[in-house]
Amino acid sequence: MNSPQHHIIFIDGYCVLCNRAVRFLIWLDYKKRFSFSTLNSSFAQKNIGKESVQSILVMDKNGEIFEKSNAIRVITNQLILLQWIGLIIWLLPTSFTDHLYMAIAKHRYRVFGKYDSCPLVNNKKVVERLII
């Protein structure tokens, strides 16, 4: 599914919150605008090249990388049912939304938990949209 017409969302495969978000996005994304990859995959290392990322990343169909609240904006703008969230984020200063994003990212394991291995690779609905 690695084609130029898709946005690729890079997530922490061990993060419970991230895994739930992927399943929710797949449920909302009936037009299949998104593909997914984990941040530690060989695909991610080859295409984003960052060693340690504490953020969701989105690579758009032009290869541009968005992170933190800008990544959330890209995702919400593509999904009609979430566009109102994107509008709210767009109206707030990026410094504020990035700070809020990083506060959640910093505490995500403690609040939501962490998997020993990425469960996305065993989920049939996800595997067809997963790039490893």
**Where do the structural domains in the chain lie, given as residue ranges?**
7-127
The pLDDT value recorded for residue 15 is 93
Condensed to tens digits (0 to 9), the pLDDT of residues 91-109 reads 999 999 999 999 999 999 9
Question: 2: alpha, beta or left, given left = phi > 0 and alpha = psi -120 to 50?
Answer: beta
The pLDDT value recorded for residue 30 is 87
Compute, in degrees rounded to 10, the torsion defined by CA atoms 87, 89, 95, 96: 130
The pLDDT value recorded for residue 103 is 94
Question: What three-state secondary structure class fits 38?
Answer: strand
The pLDDT value recorded for residue 108 is 93
Condensed to tens digits (0 to 9), the pLDDT of residues 57-83 reads 999 988 899 999 999 999 998 888 888
- CA angle 43/123/111 to nearest 5° reads 85
